[in-house]
Amino acid sequence: MPSEPAEPRSRLTGSRALDALLPAGVIAIALALLHLPPLWSFLFAAVGLVPAASLLGRATEELASRLGSVAAGLVQATLGNASELILGIVALHAGLVEVVKASLAGSIISNLLLILGMAMLFGGLHRPRQRIDRDLARTNAATLFLAAVGLVVPAVFALSIYGDLGANRPAVENMSLWTAGILILVYIASLRYQFDSTASARRRRTSTGRRSGPLAAMALTTAYIAVLSELLVSGLQSAQQAFHGTDLFWGGVVFAIIGNAAEHAVAVSAARRNDMDLAMAIGVGSSLQIALLLAPALVFVSLAFGHPMSLVFTGIEVVAVVLSTILVGMIASDGETNWFEGAQLLAVYAILVVGFYFAPLLERVASTSR
């Protein structure tokens, strides 16, 4: 069967479609400097962050390609979700703790359900099935479940001891700090396992060329993303007033999709080329990095801003992460995927999005009627 035609690539983001979105970020900055309504800066910043994340990813890959194999792996593994980290830091600085927690849970869910769902759907439309590495899928599923446990236990602890999910208690904050440290250790161990398991297939690489180019590109892109993230956070209230929705919806759905949009395109493109292993690596790998590294790191970063963030997520966030983890593990366990399984993942994601939008509103109505 003939392979799918490759998408035309560019020297900037790697995609001409994403290149077309690059001016949006510049427009957002110009609108902010002209002191126009923050809603417009929010909308253009949201669009501009998508190609900006791709730019940072390509700069990271370029730097990694000039390093040795172990250093390259560390760079790519550590900076794979750098744009989400920057957005999270900016939001924490503004005191939007619940938005940050929602975006973390939403990123995990969108990587597992939306990214993989679209990849399986579009990759399997013209194929009866697509094969994936069963052993790798099982290892990733087990690690995902461990990560889910780490994110769920603090909420279970708070609920069982205090009877609610209130996070502003010293015991809960201390437990979150210890849990965050353990998750980071698990992430380091997972990196070591990945390096050891692929050592025989890797050839030792030596540094070639100058590294100042990628480093300068990474520095400039990081600053650019930080500015756009600031515009996004400062315009959030205006967006909520215009389009409604709670912090759970905006963080768990909108911010999560913005941060992962570039990965969506790469995963779907890989699946259409019948490379489901790469698509799975993108979706599952990014989720693991968020759960084991990004979320714990933001717990420690939040202490510096005076807005301590715990790992106590809301009930619907906990349920959504656990269901997503179990569902992806079930689908990947047989070593095969098809378009219908992708449609199932997308259906579950759509249901969760509806829950993210309506659950807090229903809870508010119920509390006022008592």
**Domain coordinates in residue numbering, the chain:** 19-198+211-369
To which residue do tokens 């956070």 refer? 233
pLDDT in tens, 253-304: 888 887 777 677 777 878 888 888 878 887 888 888 888 888 999 999 988 8
To which residue do tokens 């790697």 refer? 14
Share of the chain above pLDDT 90, in %: 5
More confident site: 54 or 305: 305
Structure confidence at residue 346 as a pLDDT band (50, 70, 90): very high
Angle of helix 22-33 versus helix 212-234 axis, rounded to 10: 50
pLDDT at residue 43 above 80? yes
For residue 347, the model assigns a pLDDT of 93
For residue 370, the model assigns a pLDDT of 53
- Rounded to whole angstroms, the Cα distance separating 44 from 42 reads 6
- Rounded to whole angstroms, the Cα distance separating 177 from 214 reads 34
Which residues does 242 contact at the CB level (< 8 Å), separation at least 6? Answer: 39
More confident site: 120 or 169: 120
pLDDT at residue 49 above 90? no
For residue 206, the model assigns a pLDDT of 44
Q: Which long-range contacts (CB under 8 A, 24 or more apart) does 356-360 make?
A: 356/102, 356/106, 356/248, 356/249, 356/252, 356/253, 356/316, 356/320, 357/245, 357/246, 357/249, 357/253, 359/248, 359/316, 360/246, 360/247, 360/248, 360/249
pLDDT in tens, 217-259: 777 877 888 888 888 888 888 887 887 777 788 888 888 887 7
pLDDT in tens, 130-185: 888 777 777 777 888 888 888 888 888 877 777 666 656 777 888 888 989 999 99
Structure confidence at residue 195 as a pLDDT band (50, 70, 90): low
For residue 314, the model assigns a pLDDT of 81
Give the bridge partners for 131, in sequence order: 336
Q: Is the pTM of this model over 0.85?
A: no
Cα distances (angstroms) measured from residue 358 to each of 235, 246, 313, 351, 355: 22, 9, 17, 11, 5
For residue 251, the model assigns a pLDDT of 83
pLDDT in tens, 199-210: 544 444 444 445
For residue 5, the model assigns a pLDDT of 47
Return the CATH architecture of domain 19-198+211-369. Up-down Bundle (1.20)
